[in-house]
A and B are shown apart, each in its own frame.
Chain A
Amino acid sequence: MDSIVLAKQVPDTKAVTADAMKEDGTVNRAALPAIFNPDDLNALELALRIKDRYGGTVTIMTMGPPRASEILREALYRGADRAILLADKRFAASDTLATSLTLSAAIRKLERFDLVICGRQAIDGDTAQVGPQTAEKLSIPQVTYVDTVIWIEEGRMAVRRALDPGYEIVESSLPALITVMGDSNHPRPPSAKRMMWLKKARSPSEIKREDPQAWETVCSDLAERDLLVEEWNIDSIGLNPDVCGQSGSPTIVKKIESVVLKGGEFRLIPPTETGITSLIEELMKDHTLD
């Protein structure tokens, strides 16, 4: 069973405070910690459990800037076998359509896979679109909102997907793409032993490139020790730049506003019996209450 986990590094939107907002109402990403998208940790855990049970490999793949290698290392510490960074300035400002096109082209380059596993959604946009769109681009079936894998055998699987409310048990042929619920499992912690070994792992674009020769030496040295994170760009995936990044993204952000409290008629009601009784009377009179 060979799985590919798609994961994204996202700004920690829980940590958004007033200082993280710029004056023009946009979010200052630099002021926010970058984290492993929470649902994607559940996707990774599911892949690792499948490997524990059925054998095979787990590959983690992300599209993002060089810094996104941080989550690749994190996945390696937790047990992923192989990590691939898709980095290219021309990927910048991809919407979900361009992202899924890029991811699917990279997945196609891998010789074999049985399952592509995504998180349910990423907390920066909460769109939950990249999974289904990647499945469509790969022409494979998708099963969204998976919380349990029941069994897998040659070319087939049974999974449980959450409905709201209720559930569905479905069987699907493989290869397939699934998206995983955030409450489906408890991700294992990083292994200290793997961390010792893998903390020096780097992708080529993370290494300073001032002196090309020195850069090559560092890369080949890391490669020899199995610590060079694979990195692909538009050319190595064989994509046309027009369908990537901003030029391949049909959606355009027209305007961004920070959320402002809606001012309106406001009255302070004293917490006394008279105050409350007159409030109730008013609400009954205008038929807010019957």
Chain B
Amino acid sequence: MDGSSKKEIWIFVQHDDGEISEVSLELLGKGREMADELGYKLAATLIGHDVKDLARPLIEHGADTVYLAQDASLATYRTLPYARTICDLARSMNPEIFLFGATPVGRDLAPRVASSLRCGLTADCTDLRIGDYTSPVKKKRYENLLLQIRPAFGGNIIATIVNPETRPQMATVREGVMVMRKREPGRKGNIVETPARTEASDLAVEIMERRTGSRTINLRKAKVIVSGGVGVGSKENFDLVFQLADALGGTVGASRSAVDSGFIGKEHQVGQTGTTVRPKLYIACGISGAVQHRAGMSESMKIIAINSDPEAPIFGVAHYGIVGNLHEVIPKLIKSYKERTRIQNGK
């Protein structure tokens, strides 16, 4: 078999204002790993208007091929023209696997595409692997399927889902759960320009006005996150959480119950319905550690839990547990960190 007839893994590239979204780069990282394992090629689908400059960085992040489709009608994301362009491409190239970020765009587009291609689609995966599956009904063994792993039932169970018969095997994947590869300047790959064939009926939805602020806080990029829960007690008391985050150069996170209680804004929420994070250090203050919260933070490199209840489930995922009142523990943490840095700098 020559290299050009190799099977392919595809990544849908999302971009906003000329910038590739992080989740697409994360998926290229995971896609590269799986392509190497399977001996497949990795391709990125880049759709838009005036986006050719984004092709290089995609190759440098791991893509072997970039399928580039450009047209003025594709300048801003709209479901129908994007879906048609993607489906045309997929029908002609038959990828084995097709991954989208589980962002509002990915979750709008992927189901439309999957329905049109009559393929299975798994939403909001938190892990992907390659593995075999034997159908108990058909007594048939399938090798090297995409194992799509996702929480279900409000985060109480983890399901592994496969699409044995339909191609491509499609999934949307949560932001922040896959690890981006280091950019490899000068990495080689092909850019394949393909036509975009938009039809009049695809323009049924017109964007009249669009406001996109930038997110004021970026939990996903934070190296240190100090999160507060209901145990913090009040909006005023959250100041203490902010003080610790400030001292450590970190960002403030929160549990959903703290958000629901009005202690802090929703953009700070970590967990299944909030942001998934994996910082170097996660400090959970007054958080019980419900599955839905753990789902968004248990991959952090180091976790410190501060909780007055020694039985709190958060201690089950923590590396360091401090059983105590956070109102006493946090000031001690701030004081001792400040002292240590002073000593270190004094040396």
Residues of A within 8 A of B (CB): 11, 13-14, 16, 20-21, 25-27, 95-97, 100, 123-133, 135-137, 141-145, 158, 162-173, 176, 249-259, 261-271, 273, 275-277, 279-281, 283-284, 288-290
Contact = CB atoms under 8 A, between A and B. Distances in A.
Nearest to A263: B316
A224 to B, nearest CB: 41
Given A141-B80, A166-B213, A269 B321 contact: yes
Given A141-B80, A281-B340, 4 more contacts: A254-B160, A267-B321, A277-B339, A289-B281
B116 interface: yes
16 contacts: A13-B153, A97-B118, A126-B152, A132-B112, A133-B112, A136-B112, A142-B79, A158-B208, A167-B210, A167-B211, A170-B205, A171-B208, A254-B133, A261-B294, A261-B316, A288-B301
B340 A284 contact: yes
A165 B123 contact: no
Interface residues of B, number: 85
Nearest to A15: B154
B135 interface: yes
B301 A136 contact: no
B73 to A, nearest CB: 14
Most buried by B among A25, A128, A172, A275: A128
A284 B324 CA distance: 22
Contacts of A266: 315, 318-321
B112 A135 contact: yes
Contacts of A14: 154
Contacts of B319: 264-267
B280 A288 contact: yes
Chain A contact residues: helix, strand, loop or mixed: mixed
Contacts of A132: 79, 108, 111-112, 115
Contact of B121 (A129, A166, A258): A129
B165 A250 contact: yes
The 10 closest A-B pairs by CB, nearest first: A13-B154, A271-B324, A250-B120, A261-B316, A166-B212, A251-B120, A127-B123, A136-B115, A132-B111, A133-B115
Given A257-B157, A262-B316, A126 B124 contact: yes
A265 B332 CA distance: 24
B121 A251 contact: yes
Given A163-B212, A273-B332, A280-B336, A27 B107 contact: no
B205 A172 contact: yes
A250 B145 CA distance: 13
B281 A267 contact: no
Given A168-B209, A276-B332, A258 B163 contact: no
Given A16-B154, A165-B215, A170-B208, A267 B320 contact: yes
Contacts of B119: 97, 250
Contact of B161 (A162, A252, A259, A277): A252
A142 B112 contact: yes
A75 to B, nearest CB: 23
B158 interface: yes
Contacts of B152: 124-126
Given A97-B115, A257-B157, A269-B322, A143 B205 contact: yes
